[in-house]
């Protein structure tokens, strides 16, 4: 797979805001409360007495004021129904949002953190990375295919879902598409009655994993590609609808930007992105859409498994408009502070040198330490990690890959799993709290509740928080998190540790976002820890401050 950054066409939602009945209002606000913790609870409580109480109106107006094409649709809906706040509306009693905000589907995607990528098709049997589209479908014959074995291997690593290449660039369909003859239906596998997408969907449902699909826009098998734009777009839309409507809920739809014919004007295809995005929104409204530049999640700019040490979840939408010029890999890797769209990064990397299985690479599978490092430099930098694990020609995840996934899961659970946070429940204090309210006090970062947050006093963009530890606490990882439902704020921070009365600096960093894993240079022994936010775009908020020790491999 080789990415070439594609132009992004913004999908503009049409928002209709009728006067909603109070029961529907309450259901929407309860969902918002779940996502936003105390802030949402205040709005929901205010709402119990009146469809649009003054506190709710003021708070929702603040959200609406910073909304973007990638932000919540709920606030504009409620503001339209409520009308404008009165001039004497009281000041908000919760920290107002900052910048563009994630949509509910983006928030749900952030929570997934880590999931599998599966490249599987004729290339598995031919040894190609990019098939030419003229392969004999009969080459595809995974006699021992077992998607349940795949899913169990993924679960052992702690993955929460899987995205399958339903169709790669060769145009071969891993489902019996009615619109192509280059499919599993024209193979001897399962007597021509097989359906890899169906078998994986069933296995995921049984195991509690989410399913996503990769559908390559570039199709080297279809005769209309690059020659008849309208006809090919109709074909692609029909195949997309088959996947969107036929296999249950999807959490992600993945569109690759690769196109080896891009330099040939005779084969340039003008995609109807608005139409394709609209189909996903219609049939799978909870699914995020990946392409190199969105509209929901972006490519991270490399395929080595590394997000930027500075990594904003925002980008300037103008860079994704047709004709504006593509964002560079460096811009994609770091994101853009002050961007007007919430467009977080997804880190894609393969457990092997290639994306499809090849026998010579059985001895080149990434080690557990390499995989842990990738996790910490992707999930630990506010992104999600999609790790490719390709099945072999039998239709099974190779034994070496299975062992590495299990080893990775063992280390991650022993390092970051339940009961491993050495700061959990410890006493905490801070330089200030929002409005002097204990609900936004320092204890929120050690209470184990991701919905609660410490917030510094209004107007401050620098603040600190300290945690008292058991004497002799030993750790080498610091985990920080911002409540991103209210935006991304922190620009720069430092970490200090105290031992025997002496404070010393042990780390510094820039962005935090959804999660920041600070890997320390050495193992630290301390009886207290201080995190100082040196600069932020608005009042600093933290929902987690954890200390961990890397488990033995």
Out of 39, 61, 94, a domain closes at: 94
407 in the same domain as 442: no
| pLDDT at position 80 | 32
| pLDDT at position 53 | 34
148 in the same domain as 57: no
Average pLDDT, integer, range 341-366: 98
pLDDT at 37 over 60: no
Out of 362, 388, 416, a domain closes at: 416
**Would you place residue 284 in the very low, low, confident or very high pLDDT band (cuts 50, 70, 90)?**
very high
Report the C-alpha gap between 254 and 346 in whole angstroms: 11
Strand duo 384-388 + 516-536: pairing: unpaired
| pLDDT at position 325 | 55
pLDDT at 41 over 60: no
User: Which residue, among 61, 64, 65, has the nearest Cα to 91 in the 3D structure?
Assistant: 61
Report the C-alpha gap between 111 and 249 in whole angstroms: 17
Tokens of 437: 């309210």
**Would you place residue 515 in the very low, low, confident or very high pLDDT band (cuts 50, 70, 90)?**
very high
Residue 36's SS3 state is: helix
**Would you place residue 318 in the very low, low, confident or very high pLDDT band (cuts 50, 70, 90)?**
confident
| pLDDT at position 261 | 67
398 in the same domain as 266: yes
- In 160-243 the beta strands, taken as DSSP E runs, fall at 161-167, 210-215
The partner residues of 229 in beta bridges, in order of sequence, read: none
| pLDDT at position 321 | 58
| pLDDT at position 26 | 35
What's the domain count of the chain? Answer: 3
pLDDT at 134 over 50: yes
Tokens of 478: 């610091």
| pLDDT at position 304 | 97
CATH number for the domain spanning 453: value is: 2.60.120.260
- Model confidence over 224-282: pLDDT tens digits? 999 999 999 999 999 999 999 999 999 999 999 877 666 676 678 899 999 999 999 99
Higher-pLDDT residue of 164 and 60 is 164
Of the chain, the percentage scoring pLDDT greater than 70 comes to 81
524 in the same domain as 400: no
Report the C-alpha gap between 553 and 550 in whole angstroms: 9
pLDDT at 62 over 70: no
Residue 203 · residue 148 · CB < 8 Å: yes
398 in the same domain as 261: yes
Distances (CA, A) of 446 to 211, 313, 315, 472, 529: 33, 25, 31, 18, 12
Tokens of 316: 């300037």
Residue 493 · residue 532 · CB < 8 Å: yes
- Model confidence over 369-399: pLDDT tens digits? 999 999 999 999 999 999 999 999 999 999 9
Q: What is the DSSP letter of 261?
A: T
Report the C-alpha gap between 253 and 359 in whole angstroms: 29
Q: What angle do CA 14, 15, 19 make, to 5 degrees?
A: 150
Q: Is residue 14 part of a domain?
A: no
Q: Is residue 101 part of a domain?
A: no
Report the C-alpha gap between 365 and 294 in whole angstroms: 30
- Model confidence over 402-430: pLDDT tens digits? 999 999 999 999 999 999 999 999 999 99
Q: Is residue 89 part of a domain?
A: yes
Tokens of 162: 């899987």
For 238, the domain range is 106-416
CATH number for the domain spanning 220: value is: 3.20.20.80
367 in the same domain as 257: yes
Q: Is residue 330 part of a domain?
A: yes
376 in the same domain as 227: yes
180 in the same domain as 159: yes
318 in the same domain as 263: yes
CB-count exposure of residue 45 (10 Å: 0-12, 13-18, 19+): middle
356 in the same domain as 475: no
148 in the same domain as 48: no
Helices and strands (H and E) in the chain: how many: 13, 18
User: Mean pLDDT, the chain, as a whole number?
Assistant: 86
């Amino acid at each position: 797979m080789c990415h070439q950054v594609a132009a992004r066409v913004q999908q503009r939602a049409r928002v209709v805001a009728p006067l909603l009945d109070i029961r529907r209002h309450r259901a929407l606000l309860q969902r918002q409360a779940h996502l936003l913790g105390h802030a949402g609870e205040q709005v929901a409580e205010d709402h119990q007495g009146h469809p649009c109480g003054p506190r709710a109106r003021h708070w929702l107006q603040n959200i609406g004021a910073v909304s973007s094409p990638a932000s919540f649709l709920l606030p504009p809906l409620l503001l339209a129904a409520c009308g404008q706040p009165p001039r004497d509306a009281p000041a908000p009693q919760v920290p107002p949002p900052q910048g563009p905000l994630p949509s509910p589907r983006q928030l749900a995607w952030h929570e997934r953190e880590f999931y599998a990528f599966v490249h599987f098709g004729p290339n598995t049997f031919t040894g190609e990375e990019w098939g030419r589209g003229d392969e004999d479908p009969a080459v595809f014959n995974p006699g021992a295919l077992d998607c349940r074995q795949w899913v169990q291997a993924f679960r052992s690593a702690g993955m929460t879902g899987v995205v399958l290449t339903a169709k790669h660039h060769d145009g071969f369909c891993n489902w019996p598409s009615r619109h192509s003859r280059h499919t599993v239906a024209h193979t001897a596998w399962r007597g021509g009655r097989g359906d890899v997408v169906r078998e994986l969907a069933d296995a995921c449902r049984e195991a509690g994993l989410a399913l996503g699909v990769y559908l390559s826009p570039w199709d080297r098998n279809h005769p209309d590609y690059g020659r008849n734009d309208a006809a090919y777009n109709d074909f692609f839309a029909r195949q997309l609808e088959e996947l969107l409507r036929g296999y249950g809920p999807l959490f992600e739809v993945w569109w690759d930007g690769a196109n080896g014919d891009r330099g040939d004007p005779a084969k340039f295809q003008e995609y109807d992105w608005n139409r394709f995005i609209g189909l996903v929104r219609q049939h799978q409204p909870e699914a995020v859409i990946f392409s190199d530049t969105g509209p929901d999640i972006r490519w991270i700019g490399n395929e080595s498994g590394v997000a930027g040490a500075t990594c904003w979840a925002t980008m300037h939408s103008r860079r994704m408009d047709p004709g504006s010029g593509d964002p560079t890999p460096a811009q994609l890797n770091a994101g853009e502070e002050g961007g007007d769209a919430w467009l977080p990064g997804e880190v894609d990397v393969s457990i092997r040198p290639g994306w499809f299985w090849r026998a010579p690479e059985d001895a080149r599978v990434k080690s557990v330490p390499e995989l842990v490092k990738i996790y910490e430099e992707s999930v630990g930098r506010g992104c999600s990690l999609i790790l490719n694990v390709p099945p072999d020609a039998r239709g099974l995840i190779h034994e070496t890959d299975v062992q590495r996934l299990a080893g990775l899961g063992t280390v991650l659970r022993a390092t970051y799993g339940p009961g491993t946070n050495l700061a959990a429940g410890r006493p905490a204090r801070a330089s200030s709290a929002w409005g002097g309210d204990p609900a936004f006090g320092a204890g929120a970062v050690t209470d184990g509740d991701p919905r609660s947050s410490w917030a510094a006093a209004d107007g401050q963009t620098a603040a600190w928080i300290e945690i008292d530890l058991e004497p002799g606490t030993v750790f080498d990882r610091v985990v920080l998190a911002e409540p991103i439902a209210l935006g991304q704020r922190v620009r720069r921070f430092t970490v200090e540790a105290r031992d025997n009365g002496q404070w010393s600096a042990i780390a510094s960093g820039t962005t935090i976002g959804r999660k920041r894993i600070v890997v320390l240079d050495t193992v630290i022994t301390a009886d207290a820890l201080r995190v100082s936010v040196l600069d932020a775009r608005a009042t600093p908020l933290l929902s987690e401050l954890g200390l961990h020790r890397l488990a033995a491999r």
